[in-house]
Amino acid sequence: MPIQPLIHGHKPILPPTGVPVWDVDPYDEAVLKNPVPFFNALREKGPFAYLPRYAMLICGGYDVTREVFSDHDRFASSRGVGLSDFALEEPWRPPSIVLEVDPPYHTKTRRVIMRALSPKVVASLRTAFRDDAEHLIDTLAHGREIEAVADLAEAFPTKVFPQAVGIRTPDPRKLIDYASMVFNAIGPDNALRRRALAMAPDIVPWINAQCTRDSLTGDGIGATIHAAAECGEISADEAGMLVRSLLSAGVDTTVSGIGNALVCLAQNPDQFDLLKQDPDALALPAFEETLRYTSPVQAFCRTAGVATQVSGIAIEEGTKILCVLGAANRDPTRWEDPDRFDISRKTAGHLALGAGIHACVGQNIGRAEGQAILRALAQRVERIELTGPPEWRPNNAIHALARLPLRLVPRS
């Protein structure tokens, strides 16, 4: 019996000549929890495969994925980075005016948010990040079991990031649930998406309220964004939407990155020993390798804005393409021994934080948070011991942990 496309709001296409048809569901919860076999099978299909249940293309080789993901002239983000095509379907919320727009509008909004997240701004936050990370690790490194997702991976970003933005009354649970909801919403109309959107009436009004000028302190990243509205560079509504973009993209990816780093270091004690030898030099490379190896953002879509070709494959206008960043980051044609976690690896070029003009705007602040935690761990902890199996939290876009029982054995 043929599979009926489970699509919502994008143009169904037929498989282009030379592209294999692959009856797989990349949004199956078993795949989302353990994606590496899926990554390997995807790359073996060639430049693209065709997914009949979604009537769209998928790619996972490094070169093709980078080309599609970064070429905004041919492959649009403004038509949605999920399965919905915003040219055909109303999005569930107003689109992000950074992630889900293209030039020239994107140029204006990205300029504002990049100024608010400039290297100088991030440098000014590093001392506070370091102090908070050291304090948190000191409270957790007692040799007894902790639940590291809630106690560490979620606790740290939901404290330091809202402070940096200038949120007066942060609610960690709402911040985490909102980010999870946004990333689940870009998937198909499956159970994950429906459960996520059911939370919207409770969470979205609270999030929107935090993004107004009156709700923010006068000295944070949010205030800098609103200052651009006060001088007429953007509107007040646009300023609020840019702050909202920070809250959706600046929490869950960092939570995932820190949690994933803990798993990687616990499962590779030789790499944690290496990190302990020089925390100042190796904390950031260890976080970068975690991003490459685990790809917190597993996949985003692009939509062909024109008829074009990639690797000799004809792609018609309106084609949705699922770019699997996690598969690209483990491509053996780009990375030597890619399934090995190696913090001494040169990771430049990984796609975990995107590529081109739509690369993650908050990547420097996320890196600073991850670096601070890994540095504090290496300075204060002798061993990271798993006390139970990691439990992965299925999400339509994010590879994240639900639970991580472990023990941080302090240095004597």
Of the candidates 375, 141, 130, the residue with the CA atom closest to the CA atom of residue 277: 375
User: Residue type at 65?
Assistant: T
Q: Name the stretches of the chain with pLDDT < 70.
A: 1-9
SS3 for 190? coil
3-state secondary structure of 179: helix
Report pLDDT for 1.
31
Domains of the chain by start residue, with CATH: 29-410 (1.10.630.10)
Q: From 186, 191, 187, 164, select the one nearest 175 (Cα to Cα).
A: 164
Q: What is the pLDDT of residue 94?
A: 81
For 56-97, write each residue's pLDDT tens digit.
999 999 999 999 999 999 999 999 999 999 988 888 788 888
CA atoms within 13 A on the CB side of 354: 20
Distance CA 79, CA 86 (A): 5
Q: Which residues of 103-155 form beta strands (DSSP E)?
A: 145-147
pTM of the model: 0.94
Give tens-digit pLDDT for 281-327.
Answer: 999 999 999 999 999 999 999 999 999 999 999 999 999 999 999 99
Helices (H), 322-390: 325-328, 363-380
Whether 184 and 220 have beta carbons less than 8 Å apart is answered as no
- Token pair, residue 214, equals 């009156």
Quick one: how far is CA 56 from the chain centroid?
22
Residues 6+ apart with CB under 8 A from 231: none
Distance CA 23, CA 30 (A): 15
